[in-house]
Amino acid sequence: EEVRVYEFAEKAGKSVADVIKVLFNLGMMATKNDFLDKETIEILAEEFGLEIKVKDVLEELDYVSAYDAIEDDYLEERPPVITIMGHVDHGKTSLLDFIRHSKIAEREAGGITQHIGAYMIQKDGKKITFIDTPGHEAFTEMRARGTQATDIAIIVVAADDGVKPQTVEAVNHAKNADIPMIVAVNKIDKPDANPDLVKSQMAELGITPSEWGGEYEFVNVSAKTGEGVDELLDTILLQAELMELKANPKREAKAVVIESSLEKGRGPVATVIVKNGTLKVGDHVVCGVAYGRARAIIDDMGKMVKTRTPSEPGMVVGLDKVPPAGEIMIAVKDAETARMYAERRAEYERQKELSKTTKVTLEELSQLVKEGQLKKLPVIIKADTQGSLEAIKGSLDKLKNEEVKVDVIHSGVGAISESDVTLADASENAVILGFNVRPTGSVKEKAKQLGVTIKTYSIIYDLLDDVKALLSGMLSPVI
Ligand code: GDP
């Protein structure tokens, strides 16, 4: 899709004359009605130091925004959708399994569970959906795509092991996504379990237990004996009630993909959780660049179902391609409409390619600070030792000036990981600062793809100097 000179100027907030002048300096004679090709747009953007943002075509569709509108005549309560996160081996899988197996009977006896990426249970007649791919990768991927299936995050911490790096990561991911957290202190059956230690360690992270005057619920559980699991579910339901989660089951569906694959005999399949409306077998759907018709919907008991209402998970068969996790699926009126939006979306993705190379750089960030447009500088800090990490964090804290402050959205000891990059991508303008640690090749590649800035240092003062320069809006373009 081509853009005319005046359209570019309009979008870039520059005068047509300025754009024509730059083009002229580049050896291109242009008038305001001339078309600019992709390459020229890229060059222009660079000249003007712009980030090209291409509007998501799907966002243009009124039914998408309409779905999110609050004023709706048919709003009904919907069940909460839960993601379990935490450090490896702290019992995420065990807890998910225990909940599933102990509560399935309450729903339907004799059913055989099928892994589709999410399942639903009932507690005292109230439903809860669990996303059963534990870990925060999918969670953050989704957020980076601007979608979120999760309403509440359960942070699992083993009572015999305490808070560990991935616990901190999980907390930061949930915090940054603005998702309420409930802490499940697991392995309470173990003789060396020390739930109070977990509480004080979490309080140090700002996750203060309600019994200590904080706003977070902590529940002692054992995924082995089942102790405390009912209480955990009650706590989830209570939190959900406070959130007043609502949706309108009477409209066409909007759902989020949480898992997808290509299956023998079935073709592309996507497990979705319905966010709003009701998804029905036979619906024409568009799902990013994929589209098709929901030929069949399979639930978490492996049963063919006719419909999925808000918060219900279902595996949809009938798309022409495998959509990525985090993609939104929308039901539209006919096949033609579905195809049209999928094509427009493909075009959007092509245009988005453009923006990757022009995502905000450190220099531009500095400029934003200078212009007073940036009040917070979000950073992720990774260091080789706890000592240096503390030293850096301490010094950064002192650096804040009146107008701007450094906001450490995540920090940790260890190499710069893909998860750090995803988090930076999901948090606007965030940069990753490494001290005596480096990203691996694949992490570097991912950062490059997403346009995330990674800077590494071996001298603390250099790191602080750069941040200082950034904060004063005086960063020299040398770094
Ligand atoms: P994940 O990596 O967080 O998914 O952790 P897993 O669920 O795989 O659990 C790791 C190990 O801890 C396994 O050997 C589990 O059997 C064990 N485990 C998990 N929960 C409990 C619990 O509540 N009590 C005890 N004693 N062991 C548990």
Q: How far is the CA of 167 from the centre of ligand 1 (A)?
A: 15
pLDDT digits (tens, 9 = 90+) for 84-105: 999 999 999 999 999 998 876 4
DSSP 344: H
State the Cα–Cα distance between residues 292 and 334, nearest whole angstrom: 10
Whether the full predicted model's pTM is greater than 0.90, yes or no, is: no
Alpha helices (H) along 326-459: 335-356, 362-370, 386-399, 418-426, 441-450
Residue with tokens 């005549």: 73
Any residues with Cβ below 6 Å from ligand 1, and which? 86, 88-94, 134, 186-187, 189-190, 222-224
- pLDDT for 110: 56
- pLDDT for 462: 87
Mutation choice for ligand 1 from 84, 85, 89, CB with most ligand atoms inside 8 A: 89
Closest residue by Cα to atom 18, ligand 1, is 91
Residue with tokens 């249970």: 121
pLDDT digits (tens, 9 = 90+) for 311-350: 999 999 999 999 988 888 999 889 998 998 888 778 767 7
State the Cα–Cα distance between residues 64 and 250, nearest whole angstrom: 15
Provide the token pair at 193.
Answer: 């379990």
Q: How far is the CA of 88 from the centre of ligand 1 (A)?
A: 9
**H or E stretch including 170?**
helix 165-176
Q: CA 247, 248, 249 angle in degrees (round to 5)?
A: 110
Query: What's the pLDDT band for 183 if we cut at 50, 70, 90?
Result: very high
Provide the token pair at 434.
Answer: 């490494």
Could you please report the per-residue DSSP string of 174-200? Answer: HHHTT--EEEEEE-TTSTT--HHHHHH
- Best CA proximity match to 330, nearest among 261, 272, 260, 252: 252
State the Cα–Cα distance between residues 320 and 200, nearest whole angstrom: 51
Q: Which atom of ligand 1 is nearest to the CA of 88?
A: 2
- Best CA proximity match to 276, nearest among 307, 311, 305: 311
**pLDDT, mean of residues 273-278:** 93
ipTM of the complex: 0.99
State the Cα–Cα distance between residues 81 and 239, nearest whole angstrom: 11
* CA atoms within a 13 Å half-sphere pointing along the CA-CB vector of 293: 7
State the Cα–Cα distance between residues 411 and 389, nearest whole angstrom: 8
- pLDDT for 181: 97
